[in-house]
């Protein structure tokens, strides 16, 4: 009788854990390809798998809301630094719609506290830019956020309007969750190699 009770308790606990994991799991909305880009500082940057990316697209000419978004990204960068996730696990990538805006954004690097090791402001070849923008737009619902979360495997997971405090907090939670999952996966692979 005790054994049956323990089995029932284990089943209920397992089911509750499975439901909890399912409730916090992010959907896979699409996928982006790996690509080469150039930062506004002239460095080559490969958008490769292996790190979480937060991708924003800067509209041509950087209109007024662009300045607001850069300030929000600067604040987000600081939060990720405080979480010890920036650069080591997470990149912020701002993609310029118009490569002629590189000079404008080069100046923005001086205005905002952009840590260029982890926040990449990049230009892309036209065909790569078109492909990336299409994949991001196809993964969005109407009026969904402008900051796109991409997991370490290149899968689009969510879009956020980080002007909204709740969405920004959710983004931080989702990034932390993805880091934990990525770390567990790394540890499991290490254990399997040693087995």
pLDDT tens digits for range 36-48: 999 998 999 998 8
* Residue-level length of the chain: 195
Q: What's the CATH number where 38 sits? A: 3.40.30.10
When the pLDDT of each residue in the chain is averaged and rounded to a whole number, the result is 83
In a domain, 150, yes or no: yes
Q: In this predicted model, which residue has the larger pLDDT, 70 or 61?
A: 70
How many domains, in total, are found in the chain?
1
Round the CA-based radius of gyration of the chain to a whole number and report it.
20
Lowest mean pLDDT, pick from 146-155, 156-165, 186-195: 186-195
Range of the domain at 125: 28-194
In a domain, 14, yes or no: no
30 DSSP β-pair partners: 156
In a domain, 11, yes or no: no
What's the angle, vertex CA 157, arms to CA 90 and CA 65, rounded to 5? 75
How many other C-beta atoms lie within 10 A of the C-beta of residue 16?
10
Q: pTM for this structure?
A: 0.81
In a domain, 19, yes or no: no
């Amino acid at each position: 009788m005790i054994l049956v009770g323990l089995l029932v308790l284990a089943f209920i606990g397992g089911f509750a854990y499975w439901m909890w994991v399912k409730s916090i799991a992010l959907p896979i909305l699409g996928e982006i390809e790996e690509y080469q880009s150039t930062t506004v500082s002239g460095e080559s940057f490969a958008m490769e798998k292996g790190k979480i990316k937060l991708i924003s697209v800067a509209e041509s000419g950087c209109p007024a809301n662009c300045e607001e978004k850069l300030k929000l990204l600067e604040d987000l960068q600081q939060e990720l630094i405080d979480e010890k996730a920036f650069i080591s696990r997470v990149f912020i990538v701002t993609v310029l719609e118009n490569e002629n805006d590189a000079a404008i954004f080069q100046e923005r690097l001086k205005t905002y506290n952009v840590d260029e090791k982890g926040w990449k402001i990049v230009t892309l070849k036209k065909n790569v830019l078109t492909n990336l923008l299409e994949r991001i737009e196809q993964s969005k619902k109407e009026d969904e956020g402008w900051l796109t979360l991409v997991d370490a495997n290149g899968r689009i997971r969510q879009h956020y309007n980080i002007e909204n405090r709740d969405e920004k907090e959710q983004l931080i939670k989702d990034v932390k969750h993805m880091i934990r999952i990525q770390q567990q996966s790394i540890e499991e692979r290490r254990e399997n190699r040693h087995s």
